[in-house]
Structures are given as C-alpha cells and as structure tokens.
Amino acid sequence: INEFYQKTGIIHRIDKDTSGVLVIAKNPISYSFIKNQFKQRQVNKEYLALSLGKTKHEKIQIDAPLKRNPKHPLKFAVVQQGKTAVTNIEKVKEYVIENDTYTLFRVFPKTGRTHQIRVHLSAINHPIAADSIYLSKINYQKTFNLFGRLMLHARALSFVHPTTKNTVSFAAPLPKEFNLN
C-alpha cells in the first residue's frame, strides 16, 4: 500500500521524451494486481520507433542484459552482469529523408528496463532518431532538426483488468511527427 502512495499509483511510465500510454492505478488493490502482471511479464506492450539506418531483417529479437553505464551515469548499456532485458522488433517500413535511410519499427519489449528500447536499438546500430542520450551529437542535431522530438511512442498496452478480469487494451494516437508519408 505504501508503494501505491509513494508512486502516486503510477505503474507503467515512459521516458520523459517518449509519448504514449501510461498506466496509473486508482487504488492500492488495483495497483498490486496490475503491477504483478508487469512483474510476471504478462502485459503486452507495443511501441513505435523511428531509427537511423536500414535493416535486411524483418524480425529481430534482442536478448541483452542492461545495467547503468559506469562511465556515463545518465546512460544504460548492454553489460553481461546486467538485468535480463528482451526486446522483439519488427520492421514496418523504410524511409529516405534528406538522403538518409530511417527504419520504422514496431517494438515489443518483454521486460521493462530503463531506456531498454533505446539501448537495444543502439546496440544493433539502429539508434532512435532525435535521441539526445544515445546518438552522436551530429546525428542528434540533424534528426532533432528534422523531427523535433525523440521518435519513440508507447502505442498500445494490454493487461487483465483488476475488477472484471477481462483483458483490456489501451492505445495512444500517433503524434503528428510519425506521419512520414
């Protein structure tokens, strides 16, 4: 019950520059019920990420443990002694914008580590556009000038409702920056 009040009911939060779905419980019982589903990895999460580069793979699973980067305390990194982190990604479409190729991915994190999607995509050489933490200064400035925001969006989330015991799904509309056609 204390944790519910300390975290003001917030169960699923996103990085400050990411848009999309949050989960906030109304009471301590709901909080515990839903939080347990996150711990058991029973919640389905879908993100959209626009990343630099081109990939020949349609689907990729990234299973790489994460830990705070000792050299850069604001960053996380793939580290063998880190916590388990698994991310599945699917290529949606490639875009060429101002002579650079970008790939739009649907991202399905199975775990919920801090910066997980950002670090995992960077680790496979597909950093997210306008990522001030994981991009080089030059690529950050170039992509921020193009898009004006981190190109990561928590699109949808589903879990079992604490009262009805039915699966419920929530989706956040795509921000205008994701209209790339």
Of 154, 150, 116, nearest in space to 135 by CA: 150
Pairing mode of beta strands 100-109, 44-52: antiparallel
Q: Which residues of 139-158 are buried (b: 16+ CB within 10 A; e: fewer)?
A: bbebbbebbebbbbbbbbbb
Angle at 64 between CA 59 and CA 65, to 5 degrees: 150
Catalytic residue numbers read: 15
User: 181 is written with which tokens?
Assistant: 């056609």
For 100, the token pair is: 């650079």
